[in-house]
Amino acid sequence: MIELTRRATFSASHYYWNEAWSAEKNEQVFGRCANRNGHGHNYTLEVTVAGEPDPVTGFVVDLKWLKDVIEREVLSAYDHRHLNLEVPEFAKAIPTTENIAIAAWKRLAPAVSAAHGARLSRVRVYETPEIFAEYRGEA
């Protein structure tokens, strides 16, 4: 079994805010991330698929195909967007790095599982070079 990972970047803005809490509590829990004007990141997305290399082509999956899937399912919705205001899954869920990793997985999993016998095995989202969240699906 080989794991193949494709990296992509997207630039997006967001803020952290829980509507069920008071302004004070939001500011206390989320600090500067609670600023409703938002702030931004250059996110790095790593998408890992696992499978056996095709005995003829030597590919687990065609990287060009995977690049197109990532673009179509994730980047087109997230890149150069305001996550809270423009992305449906973050109308209610706070766009933390953790929730972005899970959301990206949910966007990618149907497309990946439909093809070639490979399976989605890991999605990692870097909010900054020092912070990332990783999701491997539910066991």
The residues that are catalytic are: 33, 80, 127
How many residues touch another protein (CB under 8 A)?
Answer: 18
Least Cα distance to 78 among 115, 127, 112 occurs for 127
Q: Tell me how far, at minimum, the Cβ of 7 lies from another protein, in Å.
A: 5
When asked if residue 65 is in the footprint of another protein (CB under 8 A), the reply is no
Residue with tokens 């491997």: 136
Give the CA angle between residues 10, 88, 84 to the nearest 5°: 60
Among 18-26, 33-41, 56-64, 101-109, the segment contacting another protein (CB under 8 A): 56-64
- Give the Cα separation of 12 and 109 in Å (integer): 22
Query: Two tokens at 27?
Result: 């500011």
Q: Tell me how far, at minimum, the Cβ of 79 lies from another protein, in Å.
A: 15
CB 128 within 8 A of CB 92: no
Q: Which of 22, 24, 56, 114 touches another protein by CB under 8 A?
A: 56
Q: Tell me how far, at minimum, the Cβ of 106 lies from another protein, in Å.
A: 22
Instruction: Tell me which residues touch another protein (CB under 8 A).
Output: 1-8, 53, 56-60, 62-64, 67
